Amino acid sequence: MQTKFTETFGVRFPIVQGGMGGVAGPDLVAAVANAGGLGILPIWLVSPENARELIKRTQALTNKPFAVNLRSDLEQVRLIETAAEAGITLFNLFWGDPSSSMPAIEACGGRLIATVGDLGAAKQAIEAGASALIAQGVEAGGHVLGEALRDQLVTELAAENFDVTIIAAGGLATADHVAHVISLGADAALLGTRFVVARESIAHPVYKNAIIAAEAGSTVRTSCFDGMWPNAPHRVLKNSTYEVWDAAGCQSEGLRPGEGNSILIYPDGSSFPRYSAMTPRVGMQGEIEASALYAGMGVGEIVEQQTAAEIIAELTSKL
Ligand SMILES: Cc1cc2nc3c(=O)[nH]c(=O)nc-3n(C[C@H](O)[C@H](O)[C@H](O)COP(=O)(O)O)c2cc1C
């Protein structure tokens, strides 16, 4: 199926794999690209040297286009330049006004894909020069800036007839969901949580199994896991850390149950404490279940681990 998205970005299917720190590494992004979707490689949390390495590893696995994911609220010009030097032309920016990064993107002839949570942010991104908008509804897993429901946001943006591509995100998990958002006027569907359980994702197996076991209603948008990233609402599975924190009155830092405990531990002994925003990834040990298990409201319909190619084939089966 051709849409404005497939034509604009030169990919086969209107399916995007969301940028996900700690989940989407070169294997997943390349597998999505090779299967005809657009993969997004997060580089906002690494050094320019590591970003170059991640991009090169992805390029070694695919000759198809993919995007990199950066934060709008952080100074990321060096990362943009590094990615551009490595041949990247698609830049997905999230968390706020992307305008300060636009000169660096334009300088390399790149295109901006801006993640937005409301109409005001959409207008700001278009003003900055965005080619595409990811309309992220409040149903989304991970950090969620806006409060609008996905379908309302997509409908609102589609009605504006902006000269940009609209990508719907948040709580999508099935082929019916994908067909539905396209019928509302989206040009593509972005999925995050569904790709957390892809075989190629680097999410920890305990985390993947928690998503597969979760039912509708198992997620919450909260401020519980704010270590390293305060004042940033996020949607996670309600796990033991969340339940105990919630029962104790949702206290802030310094007053939270079990606050000092290291719960994610790397083989080299470095660790992250309870309430850290860190995603549990393969190779970590400790209380994986008690860490930030980011997940969107579509979890109830995610029932098995599959390859990225199988996921994309299934998601596009009703288009
Ligand atoms: C584990 C996880 C990590 C995420 N990390 C990022 C990130 O680093 N950058 C970003 O732009 N969005 C991030 N997100 C949000 C996704 O890009 C996307 O908007 C969201 O997953 C869509 O909702 P869904 O999970 O219900 O499909 C993350 C989401 C998850 C589930």
CA of 68 to the centre of ligand 1 (A): 13
pLDDT in tens, 303-312: 999 999 999 9
In ligand 1, which atom is closest to the CA atom of 235? 31
State how far the Cα of 279 lies from the Cα of 207, in Å rounded to an integer: 9
What is the pLDDT tens value at each position of the chain, 319 positions in all? 899 999 999 999 999 999 999 999 999 999 999 999 999 999 999 999 999 999 999 999 999 999 999 999 999 999 999 999 999 999 999 999 999 999 999 999 999 999 999 999 999 999 999 999 999 999 999 999 999 999 999 999 999 999 999 999 999 999 999 999 999 999 999 999 999 999 999 999 999 999 999 999 999 999 999 999 999 999 999 999 999 999 999 999 999 999 989 999 999 999 999 999 999 999 999 999 999 999 999 999 999 999 999 999 999 999 9
Q: Which tens digits make up the pLDDT trace of 204-239?
A: 999 999 999 999 999 999 999 999 999 999 999 999
Q: Are 210 and 292 in contact (CB under 8 A)?
A: no
What distances in angstroms separate CA 76 from CA 20, 26, 104, 131, one per listed residue? 17, 20, 9, 19
Name the pTM for this structure: 0.98
Domains and CATH numbers, the chain: 4-201+302-315 (3.20.20.70), 219-294 (no CATH)
| Protein residues with CB under 6 Å of any ligand 1 atom | 18-21, 23, 42, 69, 94, 115, 136, 139-142, 169-172, 190-193, 196, 279, 294-296, 298
Q: Which of 15, 17, 20, 138 is the pocket-test mutation for ligand 1 (most atoms within 8 Å of CB)?
A: 20
What residue spans of the chain are helical by DSSP H? 4-9, 26-34, 48-61, 77-85, 102-107, 119-128, 150-159, 175-183, 193-196, 205-213, 240-247, 308-315
State both tokens at 313: 């084939």
Give 264's strand partners. Answer: 272, 286
* CA-298 nearest atom, ligand 1: 26
For residue 234, the CA-to-ligand 1 centroid distance in Å is 9
CA-to-CA dists, residue 306 to 32, 192, 195, 261, angstroms:
12, 14, 9, 34
- The helix/strand/coil state of 114 is strand
